[in-house]
Amino acid sequence: MKLLLSLTSSAITTAILGNAAIDLLDPPCDFLLRSSHTMLTRSVQRQLPRYFGSFPLRSLSTTPTTHDANPSTDTTPARPHTIDPRWLTMIKRRVGKCMMFGLKPEQVEEGGKIMQLLARNWRELLAGSEGFLTDEKRRSLFRHNVVWGEQSFSAGHVNNVTYARYAETARVNWTRNIGIHIDPANKKAWLNLLNSTGIGLILRSIKIDYKFPMKSPDKITVYQKLIPDPSSHLASQSAFQLQVMILSEAHQRPAARCHEDIVTYDYKKNQKTPELPPFLYDQFKVIWELQEKSKLEWQQKILKIENRVRTLEVESWDRPDAVEDTGSAKQ
């Protein structure tokens, strides 16, 4: 779901600067930016019910807000889901604010459990909620080292072309993983896709969106998502597309996103195949179903986390009689 429902200054700033948007601003601008985030959040809240159905809703926001939205009867087809790339950072800050205000022992334990959940599943929460398959047998690169030599010396960050290499390596691993771990009955056919002796894959185009200037040392984790639904009228008969998320482990958010257009090519006939090979098409249908399942599963988990954090807030600093625990001078 593109968060363009309210095109505020915060949306523009976050799109350009990513997670560090607020932190880079002076205090007065920081206040205005956070206020505009609240406006954006309220606009998104009015739209969320149409995408998430009837289960309890909590904000995928960067600021704590209350919710009284009613489910919409709008039958507009659901748009692709995305969460604010700063969500993970801000949900941690919200828990931290509760901790700093002062919590009872059982509330401290709950806050700790939430932080442990975020630390353990942050990749799945960010990527899985968009439909990327994140399990060990499907991820393309996991904690891959970003080395010093991949940086542009003049710019002081990872060279832009390096992201295309990350995507290329990940695409090869994605193909191999399917043949080795997912569809071993057609292992030879999957591995042959990487050669130029029969039916192979050719990258027709790649588009890269850079989210922030990543630097070494860092590590990256890369996931792919197949689009569109292979059985839909939008699907090409001889090509498919992959969305790629390149996650920075140090920043715990996407460093770049890629869109790849890939053609199946018959090297013996020197032409595109008239349609996707059957083994490819059959596996793509399975992948699409798993992606939709993953999206729903992790979206629901995000909402549950939001509910738990909001409960901490209303039981601590956001209750009517709230008084901050500043400690005591008594020995």
Helix (H) / strand (E) element for 203: namely: strand 199-210
Average pLDDT, the chain: 80
Per the omega criterion (within 30 degrees of 0), is the bond before 217 cis? yes
Q: What is the Cα–Cα distance from 164 to 142, expressed in whole angstroms?
A: 17
Helix (H) / strand (E) element for 262: namely: strand 253-266
- Tell me the average pLDDT across 260-289: 95
Cα 123 to the center of its chain, rounded Å: 7
Q: What is the Cα–Cα distance from 328 to 254, expressed in whole angstroms?
A: 43
Q: What percent of the chain has pLDDT over 70?
A: 73
What pLDDT was estimated at residue 328? Answer: 56
How would residue 211 be classed by pLDDT, with cut points 50, 70 and 90?
Answer: very high
More confident residue, 75 or 248: 248
pLDDT for 215 beyond 60 = yes
What pLDDT was estimated at residue 323? Answer: 80
- Tell me the average pLDDT across 137-152: 94
pLDDT for 4 beyond 70 = no
More confident residue, 64 or 186: 186
What pLDDT was estimated at residue 126? Answer: 95
Question: Which residue in the block uniquely carries the two structure tokens 């806050």?
Answer: 111
pLDDT for 107 beyond 60 = yes
Task: Give the CA radius of gyration of the chain.
Answer: 22
What pLDDT digit, counting tens, does each position of 219-247 carry?
999 999 999 999 887 788 899 999 999 99
How would residue 296 be classed by pLDDT, with cut points 50, 70 and 90?
Answer: very high
More confident residue, 122 or 197: 122
Number of helical H runs and strand E runs in the chain:
7, 8
Q: Which domains does the chain have, with CATH numbers?
A: 9-128+293-314 (no CATH), 132-285 (3.10.129.10)
Give long-range contacts, CB 8 A cutoff, 24+ apart: 50-54. Answer: 50/74, 50/76, 50/78, 51/1, 51/78, 51/79, 51/81, 52/299, 52/303
3-state secondary structure of 238: coil
What pLDDT was estimated at residue 224? Answer: 97
3-state secondary structure of 293: helix
What pLDDT was estimated at residue 205? Answer: 97
